[in-house]
Structure 1
């Protein structure tokens, strides 16, 4: 038995997608979003100064430390700090946002490395942003799949947009689905929120109409029988699609799909997209 898709259904589907796309664009273009990043600074045990952040920064076994000059101040968790401040040992993929005037100084750990990544609202990439091209939403790209959990989460090492950097995720399972008569599967990583999943993938459009390195897709928690919906209309660019100052993960090898997913966000204009 098939379910008839009415004009009203398509209209609601399209409007829901437009709201999602607008929210994606708003997060990206936030005054302290990824388009506002002005530098990606890798820390070591030598104090370093950067043109887009106050103080001298270094890291070691006890974590990240900044020494501010006289008259310099950061707000950390709303508390003014001066002189020397220790951020402590940061968790992988974690971080702290310290406020400096109208800028935010992101202090984070990526791929086992401590970094400082300032975000300034007046960054040219942000002020020139005009939006991201995308395929028109089409219900045919909302595919029902089945989540198959692994017996235990599998540590999965993937590359990164930054050469030589690696990310490790504990993959809880994989998602099996069919598209255009082909049986396919994607390794899934933990998503945002309890039970949510996230997949990183490339497909036959990658490097042609969509960003070559990766796209991501958020997937809601599986139903009791493992059913999930892969709405490829919501395939999103990661920050590395716009800026070289991002450390985004690459898809695992098995997530390179041999089909063309003509849905979701396209190559950004910042990378020559149209």
Structure 2
């Protein structure tokens, strides 16, 4: 076991800075804490909940028809929507498309999204109590025992692995670039987890563990700095974080690859949001 940490431990100071940045990033305007709906578009121009105007799609293009009374403007340009506008996205793309409401007409942003090759909208309302009442994500105390040394074993070529998502109507794909191999306290065998590539050579691992559904959400993720030339990595589970779907029912966040599980309680990182 590691020696006890103290308030002056530089590891704790770095972790606290990480937590401050994480909480600040969540509490942004029209961020993940502001989602108030997820709705599919249909072929006929129709009213949707929480969003003025008439919305539709022909399967390739999304359409919005609105007039001056709807108070809708285009994000970025601020141009009022008076008539029909359209947008085209590729699968998994999103667009902060139009806005309305509030004193400045920008309280709610409507995000257009293409998921499972279908168009949907999500409303992002800065008056959502999930945002206005947010202070910080609850976490376990910093525990140096959950800073784990491991090895990254890359694949010769990335492998696309089918996965589920937080929305049962949306399937996903995990592009595995290799496996992170390590041991954890209390388990005699190696753990192997699929990893995705991130910017600058870093890795992202989405995983289950025995705290899920108890003190933590159904799954979490942890970013791993770029492997060293010999493939060695450091996995700091104190920095395990929730996906947006832990904060809102309107996410389409990816689930772990089947078998990406750690069969002990990883009592480190973020807990279920309060």
Tell me if both proteins adopt one fold, taking TM over 0.5 as the criterion.
yes
Report deviation, 1:235: 0.6
Q: Secondary structure at the match of 2:119?
A: strand
- Please give the root-mean-square deviation of Cα atoms over the aligned residues, in Å: 2.2
Answering whether residue 209 of structure 2 is matched by residue 203 of structure 1, we say yes
Counterpart of 1:272?
none
Report deviation, 1:5: 7.5
> 1 CA distance for matches of 2:190 and 2:7?
27
Answering whether residue 226 of structure 2 is matched by residue 221 of structure 1, we say yes
Aligned residues: 263
Counterpart of 2:36?
38
**What TM-score results when the alignment is normalised by the length of structure 1?**
0.87
Q: Secondary structure at the match of 2:148?
A: strand
Unmatched 5+ stretches in structure 2 = none
Unmatched 5+ stretches in structure 1 = 270-274
Answering whether residue 65 of structure 2 is matched by residue 67 of structure 1, we say yes
Distance 1:174 1:81, change over 3 A: farther
Work out whether residues 146 and 268 of structure 2, in 8 Å CA contact, stay in contact via their aligned partners in 1: yes
Counterpart of 1:110?
115
**What TM-score results when the alignment is normalised by the length of structure 2?**
0.87
Work out whether residues 106 and 118 of structure 1, in 8 Å CA contact, stay in contact via their aligned partners in 2: yes
> 2 CA distance for matches of 1:73 and 1:204?
46
Counterpart of 1:151?
156
Work out whether residues 10 and 139 of structure 1, in 8 Å CA contact, stay in contact via their aligned partners in 2: no
Counterpart of 1:185?
192
Please list the CA deviations of residues 150-205 of structure 1 after superposition, one character each: whole Å capped at 9, or x if unmatched: 121111111111223211122111111111253111101233x2322211111111
> 2 CA distance for matches of 1:195 and 1:162?
29
Distance 1:9 1:229, change over 3 A: farther
Counterpart of 1:52?
50
Distance 1:158 1:7, change over 3 A: closer
Work out whether residues 5 and 12 of structure 2, in 8 Å CA contact, stay in contact via their aligned partners in 1: no
> 2 CA distance for matches of 1:245 and 1:219?
27
Counterpart of 2:93?
94
Report deviation, 1:6: 9.8
Counterpart of 1:163?
168
Q: Secondary structure at the match of 2:79?
A: strand
